[in-house]
Structure 1
């Protein structure tokens, strides 16, 4: 890892620029190159530029870099990261490739162009430099067959998935000539340095994920036409009901681009020998006609779906395959879909759907059957084991379960019997499993996880040494304490992990109780505590339904007690005599931030979206969030510096009042949720608990002492009036409503420390008390209760 400090990406198209962006996210200085344009744009002509001007010669690479700053979702963790990317062109800057430790090719999918490029790269190549291609399907070996043996030793395929920042999968494709040490080095670097999940793929058409994923899309398309269904009806079944992303099949095709899908399909069809497989990848006439009309999907404004403006606002229409015209969307309704939605486990969900005898069940069974049989028949052609296939589909297509995990979920024996009844040929891999008495591909035991590989034998599933599975530890009996909302788990090295597992990890009495239990247990018997979990998100906040119910019932003593207990529990975390490290990731909102801020350190996933968002539901933070933010922002300010202090409080006020949410851990530093130089960031979320534990151990080894209670300087009545005046200006300008202004005024009062003199030093409990009073006051407001109700029912904020 240490030696890959500089990189170069050749090709500044959508994918190449995004790869350069993610390398920059990882702290790697990157040179982005593209060809020299052969003609001027109108703007360049108007400026009097020529083809020899540097700005013209670097235009394509510069355009790629500029696109990184505009695209959404953002390819960069923070806009300032773009400073790590330098642009150039392949004529003037080719020699500079020799400065790089890793060069990635991401040019057009044309073998001859790639071969010519690698021939040029070899002329400036320096021993030890790693070179790779991001091709999605062209033969890796053929690209460099004319290059020297030494160059080929350092060459391999590194297939990123789009968008590289967000998609976990990286397929590494070595050739027979690639040095094995280089392959292992790249795997380690990708996992540690780029946060990727790596699978090794064979040098075959479309490798693993696209080979299986595109096959699944193709057979789903064919089944839709056979059954006379619409894309909207199919997507009802092939999305979350089948453990796939919400974009399901046809919205996914629109996002990918129908022309791209055709290119990838043709790549397989033209490079395989099996007639049945060739037929499966034939492009349907309907799809071909859509592309000829320019209906390419999201990038052209219409594909299978099209957004139009109607009398009641925007509406999304869907293409009717039978007529070729767009019509209003409709959902396929079937009992099995409701049963799948109510299922408590993924196993129950899949079984409820694929074995149902209704329209949704039959469709789900057909697609599942075909994908499972195809996946099993392609081993060992595309991969050496089933684990690589399952991981590729989970990481590359965001499936909840890979094909062989799905097979286990629906029952291998039962499903194979049904397949045989329908005349299907069962692949040798599956026949071997059943012949040896096996009933599942994965043999889960508390102390290991075996997987069926080749030759009818089980092998251990290899996990990265930095992956700590909380689920596996619980299976092994490592739970110290547990209730409905949270568990306290021994994660080794004398460290415990406080895991939330309530619905959406929302904070209620059971979690608060377990926080208090954790403080007592860790203080008495352990070295420290990690607050983390491995759910969909770290924590979406307090239990809003409970707060609303108590407020509507005017049960103020109970609500006051709840808030007091929450504040007290956060204080206990902050002052415990053992180090505490919070490990936020994903959505970390409201109470989730308030749980994180008292920790001695935060070890956040790079994809952490933090925000104190209570104003969106008519409240302000009530669990100490205001106080903690003031502590952070005023820690190094002289209380006598009125202007400096006011500026810091203004920043906190703006962050909380506007319910700002970071788009990354890097951006969370701008808001003060993370601290530069103190808090850590993990690019690989699988390593988050491990990295947080290492922070605990580091603090413990250096003679940890709990922080002392602090006096906090406040801006007082003068600052309160300043904040209110700013909010009033927004009210008068029509930017906020009367109720927004009321909320802002309450927040301003808390952050100012009330009506005390400017520069007064107040203690933490004082701030907690006025915070709690303001929270309860707003909870009693009818308009705040309307906001809470709207959020619970519509899952979006109400402006009233």
Structure 2
């Protein structure tokens, strides 16, 4: 029962099946990917003289799906090499091989009969103890397994991954009525710890949790739009970030999902619910049916509610569909008092509250949609999921809402909003009214001991696994050791402290650098070691570019020199600190954010970490030790004097010069920005815990800080090699004159300046070269133009 899952079989190699297989491979699970054996040869196969019996033909569907994985965007694999962990096959020849695996996942067409027939085949090859699950998005788990044996049903459940499987954090776990509870717990643990998912326990009801409420919300939005005559772009302006939802809002979301997929999901609920009022909501509007009939399915067909095309000036423009005329038209600009009020408010709850209270027609639109969704979520509590917390988690991680429906209800005011609903004739579920009448003003409550939520008339504590450390909760429990405007030092317990950045965008400025120094003093006095981590949207997108640009434009070169010296010396102290330091980056970790991680004894990165020294994008090179650290690694990669170091320096030059950013934590190791001994954690909620454990392991092993050693440089000869490549790129028109100037500065630093090849130099020597090059580039007008463009446009300027 407790055996680990090391091998899996995925049956069905379509977009979802191959995506699930890819994510299993990401997480170290070898996978057998099966599909149907083709009944016809392709022209290419026929030209090669192959027959239908040839293995290459019989495994074509699965093999083709695996071959496409490295080409897909967004990438389903953390590392393209992980595709080798997936073995193709076909159901007819290889289904018996499921006896070799620990977990079988069915991901075929969403048809009950087809799934029942496949499960009958699977059961004949099934080895007792093997977990079998279905990835259905809405078909009954109990109906699917109705004709299988009792032992098989005990090991069968639903595991509803959301697409794309790598990036969507929600996984709905749907036990059948006969599923062994121990199997459920085992799979919950596996999916959270190994696959990095947020698991929501769903009941075996149509479309489960997220799709049930999400589909309902989209349909009531369409109804409100039709009744009140709103345009597509008006609906999206209101139902996006202003309501605490993604920028894709309503109609961009439908275009992304695919209108045919959405109609299928809505029809599934319509066919399986008995309440006439609920059924009426899930009756697909005629306009959606018409769009599907025309093949206007969204992004996959090039048009849906929006159409992207070239305008008269040759630029791309996005038109919106007029649902009255069924013609695509230029989008109108949407502005209102309520939308402005929402923009000014801070936090998703405050934005939504401001929106619905502003009193204009968009306020009423938002309220009419919101109240129906809140009431529906309350009505379905207990039917689709046991707790309001499960429903909130499903909507946050399945539909990317900032707040779940019950969290949002608290934010707008529970009692006040219910009073308004009843005044407008809405039917409020009895349990909600009883809850308020019992003296409760919210569904969630914070106490000194933790967070609680409403459950069966009482507050139940919201428990988290020990691996899920919350810095916010630690701060609420007065665990802050020291703090300033840019960062805080927090006591994680067990003798480990955590340095958390919280400046705007976590940009590194003097406040963060000073707090790093203060943190080292505090850790020296009272802790075993230090974790550098935070739980912001991104770990750190670099240094404070605005401050740097202002100083450069004012010609304050001494100020810039002082900032860079402070950055370099702080990183040097971090690297030589007498106690272990572990960095735990996540998501965007760029420029100075990377330079903070490079001196750490170990990096424990979230799998979704996009790591890169990207300073060339703003006309600079790394100035906080990034160039020095990569040059040092190049030197250590070629430790013997007779070993050619140039290929390693070339690699560093290319990585920095092309502003390469990893597509994952694993890819950061492949790029050489992280070391082979650094770790990658799949579940981002567990990363700080794992970093803390890494600190404790290092401390318990008798930690000794790394001593400074000389590094060997390629010198003037090596610089010439790098410049030859840069000149070739300029001659070919791939880079500009200013790009070439930046490349020259970078080559000078990475090669150790004009020292003879093979010279041993100090780290400080390399830091001085780095700082001088950085300062000189700050003075370049074209670099300042690039910095200005990044700050105003949010993207790089190629000048």
**CA deviation digits over 1:443-477, x for unaligned, max 9?**
112321110012x1111112122111100000000
The CA distance in 1 between the partners of 2:332 and 2:584, in whole Å, is 41
Number of residue equivalences: 797
Residue matched to 2:473: 472
By how many angstroms is 1:58 displaced? 1.0
How big is each residue's C-alpha offset from its partner over 1:157-186, in whole Å with a ceiling of 9 and x where there is no partner? Answer: 000000010000110000120001000000
* Structure 2, gaps ≥5 residues long: none
1: CA distance, partners of 2:474 / 2:349: 21
In the TM superposition, 1:410-425 aligns within 5 A as 410-425=412-427
Counterpart CA distance in 2 for 1:394 and 1:331 is 29
Regions of 4+ moved over 6 Å: none
The residue correspondences of 1:189-204 to structure 2 (distance < 5 A) are 189-204=190-205
CA contact (8 A) 1:583 1:604 kept: yes
Partner SS for 1:730: helix
The equivalent residue for 2:534 is: 533
Corresponding residue number in structure 1 for 2:592: 591
Distance across 2 between alignment mates of 1:658 and 1:30: 35
For the residues of structure 2 that align with 1:775 and 1:342, how far apart are their CA atoms? Answer: 37
Q: Deviations 1:725-767 (Å, cap 9, x if unpaired)?
A: 1101111111100000000000111101110100111100111
Cα shift readout 1:82-138 (whole Å, capped 9, x = no counterpart): 000001011000110111100000001111111111111111111100000000111
Q: Which residue in 2 is equivalent to 1:712?
A: 711
CA contact (8 A) 2:637 2:645 kept: no
Over 3 Å counting, the alpha-carbon distance change for 1:2 and 1:716 in structure 2 is farther
Give the deviation of 1:46 after TM superposition. Answer: 2.6
1:137-168 Cα distance to aligned partner (Å, 9 max, x none): 11101111111111110000000000010000
Q: C-alpha separation between the residues in 1 aligned to 2:709 and 2:401?
A: 48
Kept in 2, the 8 Å contact 1:332–1:360? The answer is: no
Task: State yes or no: 1:103 paired with 2:109.
Answer: no
Alignment of 1:667-682 (within 5 A): 667-676=667-676, 678-682=677-681
TM-score (norm 2): 0.99
Match of residue 770 from structure 2: 771
Look up the match of 2:694. 695
Residue pairs, 1:597-612, within 5 angstroms: 597-612=598-613
Asked if residue 117 in structure 1 is aligned to residue 118 in structure 2, the reply is: yes
Query: Is this contact kept in 2: 1:236–1:331, CA < 8 A?
Result: no
Distance 2:317 2:339 in 1: 25
Name the counterpart of 2:750.
Answer: 751
Secondary structure at 2:10 match in 1? strand
2:389 is the alignment partner of 1:387 = yes
Deviations 1:514-555 (A, max 9, x none): 011011111121100000000000000000000000000001
- 1:273 Cα deviation (Å)? 0.8
Secondary structure (helix, strand or coil) at the match of 2:436 reads: helix
Q: Residues of 2 paired with 1:511 and 1:422: CA distance?
A: 52
> For the Cα contact (< 8 Å) 1:234–1:332, is it kept in 2?
no
Offset at residue 378 of structure 1 (A): 0.4
8 Å contact from structure 1 (residues 446, 472) kept in 2: no
Q: Match of 2:17, SS?
A: helix
Query: How many angstroms apart in 2 are the aligned matches of 1:511 and 1:581?
Result: 17
CA contact (8 A) 1:619 1:778 kept: yes
SS of 1:270 mapped into structure 2:
helix
CA distance in 2, matches of 1:523, 1:575: 12
Q: How far apart are residue 66 of structure 1 and its match? A: 2.2
Partner of 2:491: 490
- 2:552 aligned with 1:551, yes or no? yes
Q: CA deviation at 1:633?
A: 2.7
SS at match of 2:320: strand
Separation of aligned partners in 1, 2:242 and 2:668: 34
Task: Give the deviation of 1:653 after TM superposition.
Answer: 0.4
Which residue of 1 is the match for residue 432 of structure 2?
430
1:639 CA displacement: 5.2
Q: Distance in 2 between matches of 1:99 and 1:639?
A: 47
Contact 1:451 1:458 in 2 (8 A): yes
Which residue of 2 is the match for residue 615 of structure 1? 616
C-alpha distance in structure 1 between counterparts of 2:673 and 2:640, whole Å: 22
Secondary structure of 1:796's match?
coil
Aligned pairs (5 A) from 1:644-655: 644-655=644-655
CA distance in 2: counterparts of 1:361 and 1:564, whole angstroms: 52
1:361 Cα offset (Å): 1.6
Q: Would you say 1:286 and 2:262 are equivalent positions? A: no
Q: CA deviation at 1:43?
A: 2.2
Cα shift readout 1:455-502 (whole Å, capped 9, x = no counterpart): x11111121221111000000000011111100000111110000001
1:407 counterpart SS class: helix
- The separation in 2 between residues aligned to 1:636 and 1:84, in whole angstroms, is 28
Contact 1:639 1:759 in 2 (8 A): no
Task: State the alpha-carbon separation in 2 of the partners of residues 203 and 98 from structure 1.
Answer: 27
- Three-state SS of the structure 1 residue aligned to 2:93 is coil
C-alpha displacement of 1:624: 0.5
Aligned partner of 2:66 in structure 1 is 65
Partner SS, residue 434 of structure 2: helix
- Specify the alignment match of 2:17 in structure 1: 16
Q: Distance in 2 between matches of 1:341 and 1:578?
A: 45
Offset from partner CA, 1:243-264 (integer Å, 9 cap, x none): 1111111111011000000000
Rounded to whole Å, the distance in 1 between the matches of 2:25 and 2:415 is 48
Higher deviation after alignment, 171-180 or 349-358: 349-358
Per the alignment, in what secondary structure is the counterpart of residue 557 of structure 1? helix
Partner of residue 659, structure 2: 659
Instruction: For residue 219 of structure 1, report the CA deviation from its aligned partner.
Output: 0.9
Contact 2:637 2:648 in 1 (8 A): no
CA RMSD of aligned residues (A): 1.0
SS of the counterpart of 1:136? coil
Shift of 1:2: 5.3
Shift of 1:670: 1.5
SS at match of 2:616: helix
1:353 counterpart = 2:352: no
2:413 & 2:210 partners in 1: Cα distance? 23
Structure 2 residue aligned with 1:165: 166
Aligned counterpart, 2:210: 209
Residue 720 of structure 1 and its aligned partner are, at CA, apart by 1.1
Question: What secondary structure is seen at the aligned counterpart in 1 of 2:272?
Answer: coil
Give deviations 1:279-330, integer Å, cap 9, x for gaps: 1111111111111011111111111111111223211111111110001123
Question: Where does 1:116-195 land on structure 2 (aligned, <5 Å)?
Answer: 116-195=117-196
CA contact (8 A) 2:243 2:348 kept: no
Separation (CA, whole Å) in 1 of partners of 2:540 and 2:262 = 37
Distance 1:724 1:48 in 2: 50
The equivalent residue for 2:505 is 504
TM-score by length of 1: 0.99
Classify the secondary structure of the residue corresponding to 2:493: coil
